[in-house]
Chains A and B, each alone.
Chain A
Amino acid sequence: MQMTGEYRIEAPRDKVWAALNDPEVLKASIPGCEEMQQTGDDSFEAKVRAKVGPVSARFAGAVKLSDINPPESYTISGEGKGGAAGFASGGAKVRLAEVDGGATQLHYEVDAKVGGKLAQLGSRLIDSTAKKMADQFFANFATTVAGQAPEGGTATGGAEPPKPEAAAPAPAAEPTPEQQAEMQEKAMQGAAPGHVAPSDAPAESMDEVKRRATEASTKAVETVRSQKSMSPIVWIVGVIAIVAILWAVFAL
C-alpha cells in the first residue's frame, strides 16, 4: 500500500512538532485510541479500538523512529499486529514545512505492506479506508493543535479540509487576519502537553498565555530531543484502517 497526503495545520511548525509528540494529543486525535504509550527512547505503542461498518476491534501497533530532524522531518517504521487478522509493516516519511500565515504544511508518504488475512481479504479496500482514517486523524489533530477540542471526531475550526495526494491543497476559506490571530492564540494554548484548551476556556491575560505557550513549546522540544522520538501517528492510522477493514470483511 502506498499513500501520500498533505495537510495544512494552522499552527507554527514547532508547535505542530511538539503536539505530534504529545501522547495525549495523539490519543485525542486517533479515532478510537484507548492507549498511547512510549515504550523506549524511540518507540511508541498504541492500542486502538477501530470501527468499520458494524465491526469494532482492538488492535496493537508499535513503531520505531529514525532520521529524526526536529522540527522538520523524520522516518517511522514498524509493525502492527491484528492477531489472526495478519500484520502490517512498513514506514512513513513525514515532513513539516513552514508556510504563509504562520501555519504548517504536513506532508507524509506511507509505504506499507500487509500480510496474512489482511492481504488475502482486504487488499481491495485498504487504500481507500486507510485514507479515510488518515483524514479523520488529521482533522482531529489539526483542530486540537489549532486550539479547538475535537467535537465528536469531526473536523472543525482551523482544520483544512484534508486533501490527500493533492500537491498543494488550496485553502477552502482563507481566514481573515483577525481570525488567524485568534487561531494562533488558541493554538498556543492548545500546544501545552496534556492540556487541550477548550474553545470556551476562560479568557486569560495575554502575558499569561504567552508565558504558558513558551513554556509548553520549550518543554515539548526538550522532550523530543531527550526522547529522540516522535509519534507514529501516520503509520498507525494506516494500520488501524487496514485492520479495521479486515475485521469488517470478516464479520460480513
Chain B
Amino acid sequence: MPDSGIGAAVKRREDFRFITGRGRYVDDINRPGQLYASFVRAPIAHANVRGIDTAEAEKAPGVVAVFTGEDLEADGVGSLPCGWVVTDKHGEPHKAPPHWPLVRGKVRYVGDHVAVVIAETLAQARDAAELVEVDYEDLDPVVDLAQAGEGAQLHDEAPGNLCYDWELGDKAAVDAAFEQAAHVTKLDLVNNRLIPNAMEPRAAIGEYDVGSDSYTIYSTSQNPHLLRLILCAFVLNLPEHKVRVVAPDVGGGFGSKIYAYAEETVCTWASKKLNGKPVKWTAERSESFLSDAHGRDHVTHAELAMDAEGKFLALKVDTKANLGAYLSSFATAVPTYLYATLLAGQYATPAVHCNVRGYFTSTAPVDAYRGAGRPEATYVIERIVEVAARDMKMDPAELRRKNFIQPDQFPYQTPVALVYDIGDYEPTLDKALEMIGYRDFAQRRAESEARGKLRGIGFSAYIEACGIAPSAVVGSLGAGVGLWESAQVRFNPTGSVSVFTGAHSHGQGHETTFAQLVSEKLGVPYEQIDIVHGDTGQIPMGMGTYGSRSLAVGGSAIVKACDKIVEKGKKIAAHLMEASVDDIEFDGGQFKVAGTDKAKGIGEIAFTAYVPHNYPEGVEPGLDETAFYDPLNFTYPAGVHIAEVEVDPDTGETKIVDWVAVDDFGKVLNPMIVEGQVHGGIAQGVGQALLESAVYDDSGQLVTGSYMDYTMPRADDFCEFRVGMTVSECTHNPLGVKGCGEAGAIAAPAALMNAITDALGAEIDMPATREKVWRHAQAKLKAAAE
C-alpha cells in the first residue's frame, strides 16, 4: 500500500490544528472597529407585527443602530430565494412566498428575525435587543404537519399552506400491479424532525470597504461562491466582482451551512449602511436550535405489493413533508427529487409511485440535512421491506436478495427517473451476513432471552444518489444552478503545488485526500501539496460541498486539471530533451522519453515554466491549470448495514451490541477517512433513531431548544462499528469514486429501527426512546406470560 497516494490511510493533516486549538473559524476573526449584531427574534410562532418600538434600544449604551424590515425594504433588499423550482402535478411551479431577511408585518415561527441591534460590544447589543418593544397580534400557529392543510393561513401566496402537490412515477402501472398482488404490506411512518447541531454555530462578518466600494463576507458557509451568487444576484443586488466571501475553517455543516440566511445578509447590508464598520454576528447555541434549517420531518403512508413468492410488484408512497415557515435555499428539492427518485432502492420493483405534499408550518425552515431526502427514502423502503418479510414469514435477508437488481441489469433504469450505472448488491449482502454471523443469530437471541433480554436484528440495504450532479439533469428538474465543480492546480516555481478547489472542507478531510490525489497524479511528494479552499478571492468559481460530491465531482475536476498540467509539461519536457511530444511518457513525477533513459522531473519542468530561458516556441510560461468538471450522472453508493440490539425490558434501554456496515463506495482514496465518515454517519443515524427529535408544542414553541431536551448521541450509545467494503467502481468519473459522506446517516435509522421492532415485536416510530421501548417490551412480556 502506498504511503501517501491513492489508497493510503494517511492521517488527516488538518487535525493538528483542530485538535490543538489552532483552527481559525469565523468567530476567531476580528476586524478593526467591528460592531456586534444581536437579532430580536419572534417569541411567538405566528403573529402580525403591529409595531416595533426601537426608541429605547437606540438610546441604550453603545448602540449604533437598530434596523427593522422597513429599513431593508427602503433599501430594496430582496427576499432570500429558494433555488430549486419544483413543478407540481398540475404543471404549476411551487408556491414561493417571500422570505424577508427581517420580517415585514408578520412573524411565522419562533426565532423569526424581527429586528437587529448593532452595538459596540456584544453585551451592549444583547442588552439593547431586550429593549426593542414589539407589538404582536397573536394568530393561530400551524404546528401539526398532518393537519397543516386545515389550519390558519401562513402565507397569502400558499392557500391551505400547500407549497406543492407533486408526484413521480406511473400511478396507473402501480394501481394495476396492486390489483394483481398476492400480498400487500402497509406501513405508516414518521420521519422525525432533526436539528443539525454542527459543533461550530453559524457566524458571519459583513465588511464594506468604502475606498474600493467592495465587500468581504466571512461566513460559516459550505459553499462560499454559492452564497456570494445568492446574495449578489437575488438579495442585496451587489456586483459579484465587488464581493469576496471567505469561509475559513468551518466546524461541521451537515447541510445546515449550505444556505443563505438572514444573518449574513443583514450584517453585510448593515456594514455599508454604517459606512464600512464591520458587523459581526455569532449564533448562540439557542439561536442555532431555533433558526438553523432543520432536517427530515415527513409523515408517510407506504404500501408494497408482492406476489405469492415475495417478488415486489409495486410500491406506492404518500408523503407529507414539512417545509417550515419559509423556503430555505433548496428546501423544495429535498422531499421531491432527492427523495422520491430513490424509492426503487436496490430492488427491481417494476412500478413505483410517490406523491408528496409539501406544507408550510409555523416552524423553522427545513432543508437538506446529511443525506437530504435519501435517508427518508431509505427509511420508507427498508422499513416496509422488513415488515413485509415479517408479514410473509420470510427471512428478511432472503426477501431482499430475491428482489435485488441483478448485475447484468446495469445500467438500470429505475421507475423513478434515475439510471444506476453500476452496483453489485448480493456480494455486499453476503459479506455483511458473514461479518455479523447471521447464521448464529437465533442462538444469540436465545442466550439473550435466557438473561431476560430481548434481542433483535435489523437490515438496511440502502442506495443513494450522490456526487450531485449533472447540471443539465438538475436544470431540467428545476435547479437554479449548475452542479459542476472547479479546480486549479498551480505549480510554484520551486516545485511545490497549490491546489485551489471549489469544494469546501468542513470536516471531510479534503486537505488530506485531495493532496493524496494530486500526489498520485503528479508524483509530487504529499508534503509539498497544499489544498486551498473556502475563499472566493482565491479559488475559481466553485459550487461547494454537499451531497457527498467533493471527491466524485471536485476530485474529478482536480484530475482534469492535473491532466492539463501533464499535457503542458510534456511539451516543455519534449523541448528540454529534444524529443517529440508524442514520445514523452509521464509516470511517477517523471517525464520520460519512451524507450530511453532520458527523464526530467516535474519539479524541473515547473521551474522551467516559470524561468523560461530555454522554452518551446508557442507555449505559454507558467504551470497553472484550471479545470471544470460536470458529472455525467449521479453516483450510486450502496451497501448493507446490519444492526443487532439487546433491549432490557426492565429499563427500556436499547443496547446496540453489534453493527456491521458493508459499503460499496467505488474506489477508496483514504480508507481511514472513509471509515471515519461511515462512523460519523452511523452515529448521526443512531441519534435520529434512538434519541433526537425536534418538538414544537401546540403553540409552536420549540420545547427541545437546548441539550437538556434535545438529546444528542454519545459514545456510550454505540458499539464498535465494524466496517467492510466491496468495490464496484463508478463508470463515469475518472476516479471511479462514488462518495461516502452521507451513507451512514442514510442507512442507519432503518437498520436500527428494524432491529428494535424485531426485538419488541411491535411497530414504533423514531426516536425509540427508553420510555417507548420499555412500554412495548413490557407489553410483549405480558402477552408472552398470558
Contacts and interface: CB of A to CB of B under 8 A. Distances in A.
Contact of B709 (A86, A115, A116, A123): A123
Nearest to A126: B703
B688 interface: no
Interface stretch (B175-183, B239-247, B557-565, B694-702): B694-702
Interface string A80-93: 00011011000000
A116 B708 contact: no
Contacts of A249: 706, 708
Nearest to B111: A120
Nearest to A119: B701
A84 B126 contact: yes
Nearest to A252: B708
Given A84-B126, A121-B286, A115 B706 contact: no
Given A115-B699, A119-B697, A119-B702, A83 B110 contact: no
Contacts of B305: none
B126 A115 contact: no
A123 B286 contact: no
A117 B126 CA distance: 14
B709 A124 contact: yes
A88 to B, nearest CB: 10
Given A83-B130, A84-B129, A115-B110, A120 B703 contact: yes
A179 to B, nearest CB: 46
Interface string A221-251: 0000000000000000000000000000100
B290 interface: yes
Interface in A109-131: 113-117, 119-121, 123-124
A115 B43 contact: yes
B699 A120 contact: no
B705 interface: yes
A84 B130 contact: yes
B289 interface: yes
B669 interface: no
Nearest to A116: B43
Contacts of B709: 123-124
A74 B129 CA distance: 37
Range class of the B interface residue count = 10 to 19
A86 B699 contact: no
Given A86-B43, A113-B699, A119 B705 contact: yes
A47 to B, nearest CB: 16
Contacts, number: 49
Interface string B692-723: 00000101011101101100000000000000
B126 A123 contact: no
Nearest to B709: A124
Contact of A114 (B130, B286, B701, B706): B701
B44 interface: yes
A115 B701 CA distance: 6
Contacts of B126: 84
A87 B705 contact: no
A119 B699 CA distance: 10
A33 B708 CA distance: 30
B699 A117 contact: no
A81 to B, nearest CB: 10
Given A84-B126, A87-B43, A117 B697 contact: no
A120 B708 contact: no
B286 A117 contact: yes
B460 to A, nearest CB: 33
Nearest to B126: A84
A120 B289 contact: yes
A120 B129 contact: no
Contacts of A114: 701
B130 A120 contact: no
Given A84-B130, A115-B110, A120 B44 contact: no
Most chain B beta carbons < 10 A, residue from A87, A114, A116: A116
Interface in B189-215: none
A121 B706 CA distance: 6
Given A84-B126, A84-B129, A86-B43, A113 B701 contact: yes
B523 to A, nearest CB: 55
Interface in B17-59: 41, 43-44
Contacts of A117: 43, 286, 705
A111 to B, nearest CB: 12
B43 A123 contact: no
A119 B129 contact: no
A249 B708 CA distance: 10
Most chain B beta carbons < 10 A, residue from A113, A120, A249: A120
Contacts of A121: 286, 705-706, 708
Given A87-B43, A116-B43, A116-B110, A123 B130 contact: no
Interface in B616-671: none
Nearest to B41: A116
B461 to A, nearest CB: 39
Contacts of B697: 113, 119, 123
Interface in B116-161: 126, 129-130
Contacts of B703: 119-120, 123
A117 B697 CA distance: 13
Interface in B364-412: none
Nearest to A115: B43
Contacts of A87: 43
Most chain A beta carbons < 10 A, residue from B43, B289, B290, B702: B43
A116 B47 CA distance: 13
A130 to B, nearest CB: 15
A86 B699 CA distance: 14
Contacts of A119: 110, 697, 701-703, 705
Contacts of B130: 83-84
A123 B709 CA distance: 9
Contacts of A123: 697, 701, 703, 709
Nearest to B695: A123
A84 B123 CA distance: 13
Interface in B695-754: 697, 699, 701-703, 705-706, 708-709
Nearest to B697: A119
A78 to B, nearest CB: 14
A3 to B, nearest CB: 16
A124 B43 CA distance: 18
Contacts of A86: 43
Contacts of B44: 115
Nearest to B705: A120
B705 A124 contact: no
A122 to B, nearest CB: 9
Interface in B41-93: 41, 43-44
Contacts of B701: 113-116, 119-120, 123
Contacts of A113: 697, 699, 701
A218 B314 CA distance: 81
A114 B699 CA distance: 9
A124 B703 CA distance: 8
Interface in B266-293: 286, 289-290
Contacts of A84: 126, 129-130
B443 to A, nearest CB: 43
Nearest to A117: B286
Nearest to A125: B708
A113 B702 CA distance: 12
A26 to B, nearest CB: 27
B117 to A, nearest CB: 11
B711 to A, nearest CB: 12
A86 B290 CA distance: 14
Nearest to B138: A89
10 contacts: A87-B43, A113-B699, A115-B699, A116-B43, A117-B286, A119-B110, A119-B701, A120-B702, A120-B706, A123-B703
Nearest 5 CB-CB pairings of A with B: A120-B705, A116-B43, A119-B701, A123-B703, A84-B130
Given A114-B701, A124-B709, 12 more contacts: A84-B126, A84-B129, A86-B43, A113-B699, A113-B701, A115-B110, A119-B703, A121-B286, A123-B697, A123-B701, A123-B709, A124-B708
